[in-house]
Amino acid sequence: MTTIGIIGAGHIGSQIARTAIETGHDVVISNSRGPETLADLIAELGEHATAATAEQAGAAGDIVVVTVPLKNYREVPVAPLAGKIVIDTNNYYPERDGQIAELDSESATVSGLLQAHLPQSTVVKAFNHIYFGAITDDALPEGTTNRRALAIAGDDDNAKALVAALQNQFGFDTVDAGTLDESWRFERDQPAYVVRQNAVELRANLALAERNKNSQ
Ligand SMILES: NC(=O)c1ccc[n+]([C@@H]2O[C@H](COP(=O)([O-])OP(=O)(O)OC[C@H]3O[C@@H](n4cnc5c(N)ncnc54)[C@H](OP(=O)(O)O)[C@@H]3O)[C@@H](O)[C@H]2O)c1
């Protein structure tokens, strides 16, 4: 059993909490407004869930999931996450997040920005290219034909292996898309983004990804 710290308790954070508890983990979950506002969610999740501040969730997690609107990524507490694997689910929506120059120029990736904000953590991009409801709806046991696959990216192979094992427990195959510099391959508007695909299809879609779309 692992304790998963979750920073962000919205669509994705609460769905990851449900799946994590279903698969035998404990969760410590937080939002921006304070633990007292998470009473309904904790009542639903049961005794393996605790509401906390973002700092407490970060400190408690063996693994920490950051799943806040990208515009708020700089508010993610740095010190409690030091030395930890951090799963980044975030995507860039300028209409929500405002324009971010490094992303507009495609000189950075969403998860690269979080990694720069958390220099002592090991960021793995995961769960960003699946609609939140599908985290439970599309989960299937290991070995099932045509099981859905999810991409991950990161700079540390051990961290990626751990996240792949977690995704397997949650009900998904994993395709390693490479380093954080390569994580644009399953960002928004790329072929692999938010479509149901098995591992073979996902590899093909990652290979079809194109950068410099904005300059074309
Ligand atoms: N929705 C999807 O299907 C989906 C799929 C894949 C990836 N994503 C990406 O995953 C991220 C989260 O998406 P979502 O749909 O779950 O968003 P959401 O429903 O809007 O939830 C965002 C959560 O983040 C919390 N939050 C905001 N700022 C925070 C802070 N500084 N510290 C702690 N918590 C904070 C919010 O808390 P309060 O409510 O208290 O402000 C809320 O619980 C986004 O980047 C999104 O693009 C979404």
In the chain, what are the domains?
A: 3-208 (3.40.50.720)
Ligand 1 contact via 193 beta carbon (within 6 Å): no
Q: Would you state the pLDDT for residue 216? A: 39
Residue 161 neighbours by CB distance under 10 Å: 15
Q: Would you state the pLDDT for residue 214? A: 56
SS3 state at 203: helix
Burial class of residue 24, CB neighbours in 10 A (0-12, 13-18, 19+): exposed
Q: Would you state the pLDDT for residue 118? A: 98
Nearest Cα to Cα of residue 85 among 187, 156, 10, 11 = 156
The whole-model pTM stands at 0.97
Ligand 1 contact via 33 beta carbon (within 6 Å): yes
Q: Would you state the pLDDT for residue 82? A: 98
Q: Would you state the pLDDT for residue 1? A: 76
214 CA from centroid of ligand 1 (Å) = 26
70 CA from centroid of ligand 1 (Å) = 8
Give me the residues of the chain with pLDDT under 50, please: 215-216
Half-sphere exposure of 49 (CA within 13 A, CB side): 26
10 CA from centroid of ligand 1 (Å) = 5
Nearest Cα to Cα of residue 41 among 10, 1, 77 = 10
The C-alpha atoms of residue 17 and residue 94 are separated, in whole angstroms, by: 27
pLDDT digits (tens, 9 = 90+) for 97-155: 999 999 999 999 999 999 999 999 999 999 999 999 999 999 999 999 999 999 999 99
Q: Would you state the pLDDT for residue 29? A: 99
SS3 state at 125: strand
